[in-house]
Amino acid sequence: MAAYIGVLTNNGLISSRSNSAITNTGNSTIGVLSNTGTISGPGGIFNYGRADIGVLTNGTLTNGTLASNALIRGGLYNAGTIGVLTNDGTISGANAVIYNTTSNSAGSIGVLTNNGLITGQTGIHNGGTILTLTNFGTISGSTFGIANFGTIRALNNGVRGTITSSSDAIKSSSGGLGVLTNSGLISGNIDVMNQNQDLNIIGGSGANFGTLSGGLITLSAQRNLNLSGNLILADSVEAPSTGPAPIIIPGAGPLLPLPFLGSIGTLTNSGVLQIGSSNAPATISVIGNYTQTSAGALNVIVTPTASSQMNVTGAATLAGALNYVFAPGTYTPHTYAFLNAGTISGNFTTIN
């Protein structure tokens, strides 16, 4: 028999010593589950089978301030359906904090929004489907910030958002990761090596910049890293098909802007940007501006007949190092034009 709870509100303490504090299973439904207190157990909330939670909220925002006392300890296990999941407090656990899986059932979350803190060994583990994941708070994991083995159609890291891990901030393996929009900070590795699709990252707009730092971006073989919007790129990037290199963007396709950006984006290079593999020049297009800081380096692949190409629709501001990477062959005197931009200012500090 199916059970139904219209609204379940906790302002105090719901706890269990040995099991999940709240279990919703079978054909059962909870219309609205609202927590501004503490839900605590080895498993915080267990939603399983054909069970459904329409709206799950942890904490509430008051004048922009998070509910510091709203806590789900032991995490959330979902193998059912959750329509809307909003965290304005803290969700913590020893292992995977939010574990969304298709084990014997749906494993579906429509809209997941985090304004607070999600922290554990893995912040969010997805083996099912998340239609939209938006983060304005902190998602933190000692092993993974976000581990995706299912489908995340859209992942948005907002202006105040941080996704961080000492290992992989984002890992997407054999699943599907849609467009990644980052106006905040992603600190740690981004590993999509086994995803077999391009990685598309859109930065901020206007005065907002998205930062990628503290790790290595690993692409699938023969796949591209497509960047647009305002981005500070301080990561290294590796494409397995061409062998390791500091930053490789192997594709020749343009980096397409999205209409809602509303302004010209800027790609800022404070790491090492290599265009093409060691023996094969490539062409990349930056729709907007390219800025290379004093800590940045641009590696240009050169063959006896061609070189890498960078096309910038806006302004190119140069500093740092320019490194020529010569492929084997017989060379004769030749002039290579590798950078085309609307305007060019500054100079490379060192040329190797």
DSSP 241: G
Measured over the CA atoms of residue 272, residue 276, residue 282 and residue 286, the dihedral's sign is negative
* Dist. CA 156–CA 135, nearest whole Å: 6
Q: What is the pLDDT of residues 190-209, one digit of tens each?
A: 998 887 777 888 888 777 88
Task: Quickly state the pLDDT bin for 344 (edges 50, 70, 90).
Answer: very high
* Dist. CA 159–CA 136, nearest whole Å: 7
* Mean pLDDT value of segment 134-149: 96
Q: What is the pLDDT of residues 254-293, one digit of tens each?
A: 333 222 222 235 677 776 777 766 677 877 767 677 888 8
> What six digits make up the tokens of 36?
């501004």
Measured over the CA atoms of residue 194, residue 92, residue 101 and residue 17, the dihedral's sign is positive
* Mean pLDDT value of segment 102-115: 86
Higher-scoring residue by pLDDT: 175, 51: 51
* Dist. CA 305–CA 325, nearest whole Å: 14
pLDDT of residue 351: 95
Name which of 126-135, 271-280, 299-308, 336-345 the model is least confident about: 271-280
The chain-wide mean pLDDT, for the chain, equals 82
Query: Pick from 212, 280, 271: which is nearest to 243 by CA?
Result: 280
Sheet holding 321-326, edge to edge: 272-275, 297-302, 321-326, 350-351
* Dist. CA 342–CA 29, nearest whole Å: 58
> What six digits make up the tokens of 66?
């998070």
Cβ-based neighbours of 255, under 8 Å, separated by 6 or more: 226, 227, 228, 284, 285, 286, 287
Rounded to two decimals, the pTM is 0.74
DSSP 239: B
Q: Return phi, psi of residue 90, to 5°.
A: -130, 130
Tally of CA atoms within 13 A in the half-sphere of 101 that contains its CB: 13
Q: Return phi, psi of residue 232, to 5°.
A: -105, 110
* Dist. CA 44–CA 26, nearest whole Å: 18
pLDDT of residue 260: 22
- Identify which of 65-69, 71-75, 176-180, 222-226 has the greatest average pLDDT: 176-180
The three-state secondary structure class of 259 is helix
Residue type at 300 in one-letter notation: V
* Dist. CA 175–CA 112, nearest whole Å: 18
Task: Quickly state the pLDDT bin for 231 (edges 50, 70, 90).
Answer: confident
Query: Pick from 105, 75, 78, 79: which is nearest to 87 by CA?
Result: 75
pLDDT of residue 203: 83
